[in-house]
Amino acid sequence: MPQKPISAVIVGAGHRAIIYAKLALQKPELLKIVGVADPDPIRREKTREMFGFPEENCFEDASALAAVPKIADAVINGTMDQQHVETAIPLLQKGYDMLLEKPFATNEAEMRRLVDCVRKNGNKVMICHVLRYTPFYLSIKERVAAGEIGDIINIQMNEHVSYHHLSTSYVRGKWANSDVCHTTMLLAKCCHDIDLMMWMMAETRPVTVCSFGSKFQFKPENAPKEAGTRCLVDCPLVETCRYSAKRLYLDQPERWAFYIWDKLEGIEHPTEQDRIQLLKGDSNYGRCIYKCNNNVVDHQSVLVNFESGATGTHNMVGGASKSERRIHIIGTLGEIYGDFEESKFYVSKIHPTKTDEKIVEEVDLHVTGDMVGAYGGHGGGDERLAEDFVNFLQGGETSLACTSIFDSVAGHLCVYLADRSREQNGMPQEVIL
């Protein structure tokens, strides 16, 4: 007899939570959204209309939801990073299971407090490490797990953050100042990547971390002499600056729209003039890129030493001409290397008989361009993750990618320690799991 769909309440009805919740529209036999908790009345109403639940299941915040009898099996928690722990704990104590966006905590003390709560209450909590679910990384993990390249000696990971993503999210946007968002650049952007490293290296554990990085580019002393304070108000360089709000946002209104135009959500069909007035006003996205209150790094390198003697590196560089993630894993029997955006990797093995020759297999997953949409967002990972969450709660067979909160601890801890090392000029930090 088929199981009933998992019922869930959305807490924090932002972009990420809605993406996962849309599984209920695509496959209603798996998931049913029965409520929402969000301080924005417009988002509450839009979510209610999208999923068709009654108005009494709309709540202003997580505490209001926790104050009433349990109305669902689970919560999809898509609140801001610094709100994850404070919103999660009361609902976990109420008995909800949870799909929780990454990073699940902004510091080590928070992390341990949340993990202790889950362990005490016996909840099932899965973390949204969505890149594990993409065909690219999942296929590589399957090869590694099958032992095709032997024992891993070294893993190298690189993430190049595009100039428009860096400027929108980490200079002008929500993750620009760690005093406000409580997350570092490495935690907000690269806990995906460090998690992938821990996943690929699952047969061993990290023991030491060190790191270097800085805010290199976007600071007041680097601003052109003629630069104003707001692109569309007092800057003569508005037509020529590569980081002009006009060029990045008005000329590309759909790119990052869910961040840039969030204050226009109440307008059914916002015009270009509406957007211009927003950028001229108090919108953070209208500020000179060099004169924002950003304090997070724009590039950082991390080195991890593992118990087996293997090493791993991750390099994050912001302001690149295009987004790019690359991985290169070297083992005792061969290598795997590839480019996430191309959705293609190579398996290179030493030839068993011929001297100084190798056998190279190209694996093209054909998940590029329009094909990405057919698989869901994040290169094919979003819908797969939501389906795995349902399987996780129902006790069914989950995928190799499934990440319980306990599986996510090592990656988060390495990020916290990397930032501590960076603040201490590269001082090595011991990993205590």
pLDDT in tens, 204-220: 999 999 999 999 999 99
Q: Are residues 199 and 342 in the same domain?
A: yes
Q: Which of the four pLDDT bands, split at 50, 70 and 90, describes residue 378?
A: low
Boundary residue ending a domain (73, 100, 123):
123
Boundary residue ending a domain (123, 143, 171):
123
Residue 369, pLDDT above cutoff 60: no
Average pLDDT value over all residues in the chain: 94
Could you tell me where the DSSP H helices lie in 201-315?
231-234, 245, 257-260, 272-280
Task: Give the structural domain span for 267.
Answer: 238-286
pLDDT in tens, 319-345: 999 999 999 999 999 999 999 999 999
Boundary residue ending a domain (93, 123, 153):
123
Q: Are residues 334 and 414 in the same domain?
A: yes
231 found inside a domain: no
Distance, in Å, from the CA atom of 39 to the CA atom of 87, rounded to the nearest integer, reads 13
> What backbone torsions phi and psi does residue 349 show, to the nearest 5 degrees?
-125, 145
Q: Are residues 207 and 261 in the same domain?
A: no
- What does the pLDDT average to over 229-252? 97
pLDDT in tens, 50-91: 999 999 999 999 999 999 999 999 999 999 999 999 999 999
% of the chain beyond a pLDDT of 90 = 90
Distance, in Å, from the CA atom of 44 to the CA atom of 39, rounded to the nearest integer, reads 8
Q: Are residues 15 and 100 in the same domain?
A: yes
Give pLDDT, residue 30: 97
- pTM metric for this prediction: 0.92
pLDDT in tens, 153-202: 999 999 999 999 999 999 999 999 999 999 999 999 999 999 999 999 99
Q: Are residues 326 and 206 in the same domain?
A: yes
**Tokens 């100042």 -> residue:** 177
Q: Are residues 140 and 15 in the same domain?
A: no
Q: Which of the four pLDDT bands, split at 50, 70 and 90, describes residue 410?
A: very high
Q: What is residue 357's three-state secondary structure?
A: coil
**Number of folded domains that form the chain:** 3
225 found inside a domain: no
Is residue 220 exposed (0-12), middle (13-18) or buried (19+ Cβ within 10 Å)? exposed
Q: Are residues 157 and 277 in the same domain?
A: no
